[in-house]
Amino acid sequence: MAFQSDASFAGFLRTTAQSAVVAESAPAVNFLLEERLPAPREQTFLGEKPGPAPSGWEMSAWLQTFGNHYSDRVALPLRRAGGIATFTSENSDNHLAIESHQDVVRLESLKKMHDLFPGGFDSAADLVAELRNLIRSRQPGQAGTFSDDQRSRLAEWLDGPDPGDRGGLNGKRDARPAFVAPFDEVESLLAAPDWATRLRNVLGLSHFFGSPDKPFPVVLCRYNLSRVERAARKAKVGAWAAIPTVLEAGNGNGPGAAFFPFPKAAASSSFGFGVTVDLSPNGGLDFKSELLHIRLDYTLDDFVAVGEITDEVTDAQLATCRQRHFSLLEQELQYRSDVP
């Protein structure tokens, strides 16, 4: 397991891995199973504040330590993007040299985008409606249904009145690495009426949830990795793609529960460079490849579909899906014996 150098923290993880609360046990299991984290990154994490209490590690200290490390070393502001640990030399073992001429997808929360920068839109619903209009105007027979003023309004929301000034939504986004999946692995799902929910499930996005009375609006982003590679060259960044570790899987509030570390022994399998936890309730094994890349400015052309999620992944469902995933990879997990 990772973090063997700190007996107190390792003991805390083993205890927490047995918690009945999946939001606690799942990240602890992930930390126990992580085999890709370089020693310098471990030590940086263990030196983060606040660290353990005088009596030892406990849950709130772990969440705060993770959150502070995530903010200090992963989700940096754009002006400090070169310091993101994911793409520095200390994480070189996890860097990927992959074919950049392929499309990838991300699912973004439109409410979060609107909260980050509302622009000229009074509500997230207004933004959702206008993005739907934009995407609909690309369909056959719809030419001329989206005016220049409408496009300008969206463009200003995305980039501000002067794109060269890095305003708008792109100017507000930090430089955290982006989780993406190959487009060709999910393309078949996108024709379904409930494509947004299906995509949420196969990409392991348990934090995306809504209800019939309060749908959760999302936008599907699709773009070619060659743009990311060009952006890396422009920024003079050596590495631009990487395999995720537990230290990228979370946010400023703590580690994520739906992530699962990718064992080295599975790297030559059909899963490729990482694999999502399938959250589908039907018991399937529809796992998808996943990777991280450096932050990329969005363009309006990247937004290819708007959908809604009207259900949630329950804790019981997440636990079942994680166990199914664990069973699939169990024989390839180097530190299986460290999980109680």
Q: Which of 46, 20, 21 is CA-nearest to residue 31?
A: 46
Across the chain, mean pLDDT equals 94
pLDDT class of 328 with cuts at 50, 70, 90: confident
pLDDT class of 17 with cuts at 50, 70, 90: very high
Mean pLDDT for 280-299 is 88
Asked if pLDDT for residue 60 goes beyond 60, the answer is yes
Quick one: CA dihedral 203, 206, 208, 209, positive or negative?
Answer: positive
Task: Let me know: does 206 contact 80? Beta carbons within 8 Å.
Answer: no
Asked if pLDDT for residue 314 goes beyond 80, the answer is yes
Mean pLDDT for 217-245 is 95
What is the per-residue pLDDT for 268?
Answer: 63
| Proportion of the chain above pLDDT 90, given as a percent | 87
Cα–Cα distance, 230 to 244 (Å, whole number): 21
Angle at 205 between CA 181 and CA 316, to 5 degrees: 135
Mean pLDDT for 104-131 is 98
Provide the H-helix boundaries in the chain: 7-16, 22-33, 39-46, 59-73, 110-116, 124-136, 148-159, 168-172, 183-186, 195-202, 225-234, 315-329
Cα–Cα distance, 287 to 290 (Å, whole number): 9
Asked if pLDDT for residue 270 goes beyond 80, the answer is no
If one counts every other C-beta atom within 10 angstroms of the C-beta of residue 22, the result is 20
Phi, psi values for residue 97, rounded to 5°: -110, 90
Residue with the larger pLDDT of the pair 129 and 281:
129
What is the per-residue pLDDT for 68?
Answer: 98
pLDDT class of 282 with cuts at 50, 70, 90: confident
Mean pLDDT for 68-77 is 98
Asked if pLDDT for residue 271 goes beyond 70, the answer is no
pLDDT (tens digit per residue) in 145-181? 999 999 999 999 999 998 777 889 999 999 999 999 9
